Amino acid sequence: MDYQVLYRKYRPKNFDEVIGQNHITTILKNSIVNEKLAHTYIFTGPRGTGKTSSARIFAKTLNCKNLKNGVCCDECENCLNFNSSPDIIELDAASNNGVENIREIIDNVNVAPTYNKYKVYIIDEAHMLSTSAWNAFLKTLEEPPESVIFILATTEIKKVPITVLSRCQRFDFKRIDPEEIKKNLINICKKEKIKYEEQALMEIAILADGCMRDGLSLLDQISRVNEKVSLSIIREYFGLVTQEDIDEIYMSIINNDINGLVKKINEIKQTGVDIKNLLEKIIKEFIDKAINIKKKGISNNVFKQLKNMIDRINDLMSKLNQNSDGYLLLELELISFIKDDEVKISKKEVNQIISQEIIKVDTKIDVNSLLKPEEINHYKLNDKFIETRINNTFVGASKDNKISASEKWNSFMDYVNENGVNEFKLFKDKVVIAAASDEYIILQTGSESLKTIGNSKLYDIEQLFNNKNETNYKFIFIKADEWKNIVSKFDKSKTYKLIDESEFIQTKDSSVDMAKDLFGKEIDIQ
């Protein structure tokens, strides 16, 4: 059988390859370089975080003949023969936990290393040793021969006797951050030529729960199901709850959409997601939103509602039992926040939540319907106006104009960011120049919401941009897929002529007409 599972194939071979435990590997490397070694170490932490791998690397590095800055060479005789060396003894205490197993170690501990400088004993799942085994081991752990080093690895440090802990140098391994797991998964996908969606790998990293081994096992499993590791495949096989799902739940609540909320919760229920996993995901995402709301200075009313929801869902988690219908209870809790008399979220506040990217994925929200009459654009926005702006850009479009406009736009975004122009900061790094002439610029974005918000504030953006750059540009925002379609139909032989735009300039009356189009004929505009 030639195939090797990923978690074994990509097991770290030296300290530089260990992921997420720099606080430990740095100390271990320095202790070897400076020859300040303890006689007994204990590595503790959650499963799959690198305890046993680090113990093996430590043992190999101790005996490496060509050590470089605390990193083994993997080329010398000792490194190459490490796996078969009689001086490296590994014991699984889960199945070898009796006093006779420890006595065998005690009997052999005084025998000098055969080939290496150090004889290293690695005892995995050390907490499984019996009380009599620990008692027999104490004296040897405290005063082993100078050429012997013990490394104990355990997931349950509380089960290790305090008399043992006091004789060990302790290292606590932490759960690996999902971002670090994702980066490692990306590197492995590239090496293995596995096609992937980056967001899918992020969800695998979250499912791994800080365990690199679990992350690699999941990637291995999913990559065999389909040619591409995608969110849809993960959702199908693992009942995945995505950030988009949580965003849709939140949008339903703040938009008082009870039907949308019930539908979304039922959709998630049908995928088989465990209710506690869903509650944990909601709490985590809602806390992130609450923090961002505070950071970005959005209404305290919005923060208060989020905090109330987090508190109620957290209480619900503690009340769940085997007889509870968790999904029904969650549904009832969230519905109670729709049209809540205590905390009312205005349309302006909803618009802030979207524009400030508290909702991190593009939503199917008509942002224009959230604008108040006094926010109506200087221009009369419709398909003909957009077509006119695109046509007028093509009249003088060139590569040099695009480069010049891009430099000005990037400078403008820096200015907006540095001067706290919050209204336009959301465009930074999410909008690029698609085409430009001497007077017109087509701005491209991947988000329907950003396109709508940009065009709704078009005149204000133009004024600020032109004042900053001493220019006289006119803009239009379009989506990336729209631009791709335009480019595919572009006729190089066609001669484009400027089209007059005066019919699209808003007068007082036309602003009222547009507001009625957006909000309905019954609207009362003062």
In a domain, 366, yes or no: no
Q: Do 129 and 213 sit in the same domain of this protein? A: no
Residues 496 and 399 in one domain: yes
pTM score, two decimals?
0.61
Q: What percent of the chain has pLDDT over 70?
A: 90
Quick one: average pLDDT of 235-256?
83
- Mean pLDDT for the chain overall: 85
22 assigned to some structural domain: yes
In three state form, how does the secondary structure of 310-361 look?
A: HHHHHHHHHHCCCCCCHHHHHHHHHHCCCCCCCCCCCHHHHHHHHHCCCCCC
User: Given pLDDT bands bounded at 50, 70 and 90, which one contains residue 120?
Assistant: very high
Give residue 509's pLDDT. 45
> Edge-to-edge, what's the strand order for the sheet holding 88-92?
88-92, 119-124, 148-154, 40-44, 169-172
- Could you list the beta-strand ranges (E) of 377-473: 431-436, 440-445
- Tell me the mean pLDDT in the region 447-463: 83
**CATH code of the domain containing 340:** 1.20.272
Same domain, 14 and 118: yes
Residue ranges with strand state E in 164-272: 169-172, 195-196, 228-229
- pLDDT tens for 182-198 read 999 999 999 999 999 88
Could you give the C-alpha distances from 199 to 191, 196, 230, 232, in angstroms and in order? 19, 9, 8, 11
Q: Give the pLDDT of residue 491.
A: 78
Say which residue, 101 or 420, is predicted with more confidence.
101
Helices of type H across 42-89: 51-62, 77-80
The whole-number average pLDDT for the span 148-167 is 93
For residue 512, give Cα distances in angstroms to 99, 189, 372. Answer: 89, 56, 12
Q: Determine which helix (DSSP H) or strand (DSSP E) holds 152, and give its type and residue range.
A: strand 148-154
How far apart (Å, rounded) are the C-alpha atoms in residues 368 and 346?
A: 14
C-alpha distances in Å from residue 380, one per residue of 427, 453, 493, 504: 22, 14, 31, 5
Pair 184, 299 in one domain: no
Q: Is the pLDDT of residue 526 over 70?
A: no
Tens-digit pLDDT profile for residues 464-515: 999 988 899 999 999 888 888 888 888 777 888 899 988 888 755 444 444 4
338-358 pLDDT per residue, tens: 887 777 787 778 777 776 677
pLDDT band at 171 (very low <50, low <70, confident <90, very high): very high
pLDDT bin (cut points 50, 70, 90) of residue 524 is: very low
- Do 318 and 299 sit in the same domain of this protein? yes
pLDDT of residue 125: 93
3-state secondary structure of 228: strand
Distance, in Å, from the CA atom of 61 to the CA atom of 29, rounded to the nearest integer, reads: 8
pLDDT of residue 310: 93
Axis crossing angle, helix 326-335 with helix 258-270, rounded to the nearest 10: 160
Give mean pLDDT, residues 54-75: 92
d(CA 426, CA 296): 11
Tokens of 187: 């590197």
Three-state SS for 41?
A: strand
Q: Does 215 reside within a domain?
A: yes
Looking at residue 482, its pLDDT comes to 87
Where in the sequence is the domain holding 217, given as residue range(s)? 178-238
What's the confidence (pLDDT) of residue 519?
39
In the numeric block, the tokens 């199901």 are attached to 225
Q: Is 120 exposed, middle or buried (0-12, 13-18, 19+ CB in 10 A)?
A: buried
- Give the amino acid at 280: E
Q: What is the CATH number of the domain that holds 229?
A: 1.10.8.60
Mean pLDDT of 257-265: 89
Residues 150 and 11 in one domain: yes
For 384, the token pair is 């003909």
Tokens of residue 112, six digits: 């000098």
Q: Residue 322 has what pLDDT?
A: 57
In this predicted structure, the answer to whether residue 272 has a pLDDT above a threshold of 70 is yes
**What is the DSSP secondary structure assignment for residue 403, as one 8-state letter?**
H
Average pLDDT over residues 401-413: 92
* Predicted confidence band of residue 23 (pLDDT cuts 50, 70, 90): very high
Give me the CATH number covering residue 113.
3.40.50.300
Structure confidence by residue, pLDDT tens digits, 298-342: 888 889 899 999 999 999 888 876 556 788 889 989 998 888 777
pLDDT band for position 209 (cuts 50, 70, 90)? confident
Residue 376 sits at φ, ψ, to 5 deg, of -60, 140
Q: 367 in a domain, yes or no?
A: no
- 230, part of any domain: yes
Q: How confident is the model at residue 362 (pLDDT cuts 50, 70, 90)?
A: low
Of residues 169 and 509, the one with the higher pLDDT is: 169
159 and 25 part of one domain: yes
Domain closes at, from 151, 172, 193: 172
Residues 6+ apart with CB under 8 A from 8: none
| 255, 284: one domain | yes
**442/493 same-domain check:** yes
Q: Is pLDDT above 80 for 376?
A: no
Of 172, 200, 221, the residue at which a domain comes to its end is: 172
Cα(435)–Cα(70) distance, integer angstroms:
53
* CA–CA separation, 51 and 49 (whole Å): 6
**Tens digits of per-residue pLDDT, 233-245?**
887 777 778 778 8
422: domain CATH number is 3.30.300.180
Which pair of structure tokens corresponds to residue 186? 């990306």
Q: What is the pLDDT, as a whole number, of residue 80?
A: 92
**Number of folded domains in the chain?**
4
Q: Please give the share of the chain, as a percent, with pLDDT higher than 90.
A: 44
pLDDT for the residue numbered 490: 80
Q: Which of 192, 218, 238 is the last residue of a domain?
A: 238
Does any domain span residue 526? no
Same domain, 343 and 391: no
